[in-house]
Amino acid sequence: MRGRPSGEIKTAMDDKTQKRTCAKALDLIGSAVDEMFLAPGRIMTFFQSRRKTDWQHYAREVAFYEEQRYVKDPRKFFVLPAEPPDYTVETQASYQSGFYQVLSFPSLYEPQNPYVRDRYLGYAENRRGYLVRWTHGDTPRKTVLCVHGFMMGAPREAERMFKIRALFSMGLDVALFIQPFHWKRVAGPRAARRVYLTPGDAAFTNECVAHSIYDLENCFCLLKKLGATDIGLIGASLGGYVTGIYICVSARAKFAAMMVPALTLLRPMSPDAFLKRAPFDSKWRARVCRAADFHSPLHLQPRIPADTILVVASRGDRLCPIEPVEQLKLRWNLSRCHCRTGGHWLVFDKIRGRAWYGLLRDMNFMEG
């Protein structure tokens, strides 16, 4: 047998090198776009890090999670509602061949942490949950339940992000879970939504995450009550984080797609500048970081089969870095894990669409 001529081998190697170089350049462009989006947040984080703080009370807030052993056993931190909530149809309008609905329901989540409970429950708008539906309104349908990202809770934003019109045209019902402190769940300007992820406010953010899981279960219960058959999950960014946790505490989802998922809430907005102002040592700061990170999907194991989980990340992503995704792939033994060229917002390939629609076909949510 004759091998390939050396000239052909060299040409092939040159082509691969050129493609890798081009991909790295595109990753850098994607990263640069991410940095532009991050700049206002970094400025706000700087000013938030200077806020007046009762450090003794703060220390009690964050110590609670270690004292209750949630840091060692994260699954125990999450509570789920015992039964479906009552609901109200707040809005209904025609949508293609079906209906667009906004359902609201009482959200009865009680923060686990007594030191933050009154502050958390002081946001009255957040004590009502919302589920948005795009439904055919005829026979029971398979349903895709979407979980939006940070600052992205408006239904019109979600409709574009998750390409809901296309999913609906495939015969699927689609729903959107509104996370705590988003859309109608917080009063004031758009910036008020940032309370979910205030850098350094570990206890408050922990309760936001637990509240997300509680109300996501409420949405599953409501959809079942309304006649949905199989329900699959897709979450993006912060929504990917919540989706990853949910499938570790519940086996309800037929599949889960985690798109450019956050897998740690300590990056990219680090709490270091805030914590270094505290009159405590570096060991204490490390304990605070553990108390802020214990609920990451990286510290949990999924309750649904690994081959029903899809993860799509971007190599140049500065908001949700790819390194934790690579760790998750190994820890969860994922076969459906893909890396895109580009960043969080700007990408240069069609991997996400191919992987997503491939998952829907394999899960029998679409034909062909």
Sign of CA dihedral 338, 339, 342, 343: positive
Average pLDDT, the chain: 93
Q: Please give the average per-residue pLDDT across 222-251, as a whole number.
A: 97
Quick check: 192 pLDDT over 80? Answer: no
- Confidence (pTM): 0.93
Reduced to 3 states (helix: H, G, I; strand: E, B; else coil), residue 298 is: helix
Quick check: 333 pLDDT over 80? Answer: yes
Res 9: pLDDT: 54
HSE of 103, CA atoms in CB hemisphere, 13 A: 23
- Is the bond preceding 268 in cis, omega lying within 30 degrees of 0? yes
Res 20: pLDDT: 84
How does pLDDT run across 24-48, given as a tens digit for each residue?
A: 999 999 999 999 988 988 887 788 7
**Which distant-in-sequence residues (6+ apart) come within 8 Å of 136 by Cβ?**
97, 98, 168, 171, 173
Res 218: pLDDT: 98
How does pLDDT run across 135-179, given as a tens digit for each residue?
A: 999 988 999 999 999 999 999 999 999 999 999 999 999 999 999
Res 5: pLDDT: 64
End-to-end CA distance of the chain: 41
For 57, the token pair is 């009370």
Residue 1: band (very low, low, confident or very high) from pLDDT cuts 50, 70, 90? very low
Per domain, the residue ranges of the chain are 6-362
Range 6-362 has CATH code 3.40.50.1820: yes
